[in-house]
A and B are shown apart, each in its own frame.
Chain A
C-alpha cells in the first residue's frame, strides 16, 4: 500500500520544525515514530502534503532526573523508557512502556507522538493522568507548560495549536510511600488493549492518603475514576474498600461494544483490572519489588 505522495522536510531543530509547520500550513504534519501516522497514511486516512521529520533532530531523545521530576524528550522511544533504570524509579511508567505493542513498535514509537496522537486506546494517557505530569509545548513565539489533565481534549484532539509541538514530558516523582501499577487486557501484543487500569496510591501506614485511578479504552479519552479514588482515600485498604473502588470504576467506565468485546464485557474487565492494579500498587507502596505484565487473552 502506498501513501499519497508528499513533500519531505527534515527539521534540524525543534524550533525549525515549528517554523516549517507554520510556513507549510494545515497540510503539513510532523513525523515522529510513524507508528500511528504511517499506517494511517498507507490506508489514506491521513493525506498530508508535507511531512516534517523530527527523527534527525539531535538531543530530543532523553530521560533525565532533575529536581524531583523525570523529564522525557519528545522523541524518546517506548523501548528506551522500557529499558531505563531512571524511568523505572516510577514503576508504573515501566509497566506502561513495556506493554505497548511489540518490540518493533516500541523501538520506533515515541512518547511525544503518542500524546499528540491522543488515540482513545493509547496507553500513555491512562498512566500519565494518574501522576503529576506536564507537557511542554513549543510554539513559534514561546514554550508553554500544559498540565496533562488539560492536554488531551477529546479523542484525537489535544491542546496543541497547528504550529506547536510537544517538546518534553515532565513527570513529578510521587511522594514517599507511593506505589502504582498499570495493567491492560490485550488480545495479542501488536494491538491496543481491550481495557486497562492505572492506579497510583500513597500510603500512610495502613491508610491510603491519596489515590489516582484511571481507566483506558472504555471511553473517548482516559477516564479518571473519581468515585473509585474517593472510595480509597482516607481509608484502610481492605477487601471491602477495594470492592467499593471496583464498583465505582465499573460505573465510571463508558465503553463501546466493538470487535474487542461488548460494552458489558469491558465494564466487567475494567473492574477486575482495577482490583489487580490496586493490589500491586499497595505492595509496591510498601517497598516490595513486583513485576507486572499485561494479561493476554
Chain B
C-alpha cells in the first residue's frame, strides 16, 4: 500500500526588518600615479578594491586576519595591511602597489635586489615585503640589521627563512636612489 504523503505547509519565513538601503560611497584614489573615481559599497575592503575593481592582482591575500602582511600596500607613503582597511577610508589617498614599483620597463632596485639575492621562493609574500622595504628605505637609507628586522616584522614568509630577504633589503639599500 502506498504511503500517504502528508503535505506540510512551510512556515512563512520571517520578514527582515525594513532597513534603509546601504548606499554606495563615491571615492577617488590615486593608485600608482593614476586617479580612479568610483563608487564602493562601504564594506568593500581596500584589498578587494585593488584586486577586484582595479585588477591589480599583485597585492595578495594570505591570512585575511591582519597577520601575514601579504596584502601590504603603501598609503600616503605608509605601509598598511589592505585587508584591514575599508576602501572608503582611502578616499583622497595615494596608493602604491607592487605594480607601481617598475618604471619604464625597468625593475625598481628593490625588485632587482630580491631577484639578485634569491629573496623569494614561491613569491607569495614578496609584493608585501617589497613594499615594507620601500617604506623603510624611503626614510632610512642606511638601515641597521635591527632596523630591517623591525621593518619586516609584519610580513610572514612561509618559504625562505628570511636570510635572503634580509640580504635583498641590504642590497637594495645600497642601490636605491630617491625612492
Contacts and interface: CB of A to CB of B under 8 A. Distances in A.
Contacts of A49: 19
B43 A6 contact: yes
14 contacts: A1-B64, A5-B43, A6-B42, A7-B20, A31-B86, A34-B84, A34-B89, A103-B79, A103-B132, A104-B69, A105-B66, A105-B154, A190-B69, A191-B67
Interface in B35-65: 41-43, 45, 64-65
Contacts of A188: 153
A147 interface: no
Range for the number of chain B residues in contact with chain A: 20 to 34
B164 interface: no
Range for the number of chain A residues in contact with chain B: 20 to 34
Contacts of B19: 49
A51 B65 contact: no
A53 interface: yes
B18 to A, nearest CB: 13
Interface in A45-63: 49, 51, 53, 55-56
A50 to B, nearest CB: 10
B157 to A, nearest CB: 13
A64 B91 CA distance: 28
7 shortest interchain CB distances as A-B pairs: A102-B154, A189-B153, A8-B42, A107-B78, A104-B154, A102-B153, A104-B81
B98 to A, nearest CB: 15
Given A8-B88, A104-B154, A190-B66, 8 more contacts: A4-B43, A6-B22, A8-B42, A39-B65, A56-B91, A79-B78, A104-B80, A105-B66
Contacts of A34: 84-86, 89
Given A103-B132, A104-B80, A190 B67 contact: yes
Contacts of A56: 91
Given A34-B85, A55-B89, A3 B43 contact: yes
A107 B72 CA distance: 12
B86 to A, nearest CB: 7
A13 interface: no
B85 A38 contact: yes
Contacts of A102: 69, 153-155
A108 interface: yes
A107 B42 contact: no
Contacts of B88: 8, 10, 53
Nearest to A98: B150
Given A39-B65, A53-B89, A103 B153 contact: yes
Counting chain A CB atoms within 10 Å of each CB, the highest count among B19, B84, B150 belongs to B84
Contact of B66 (A8, A35, A79): A35
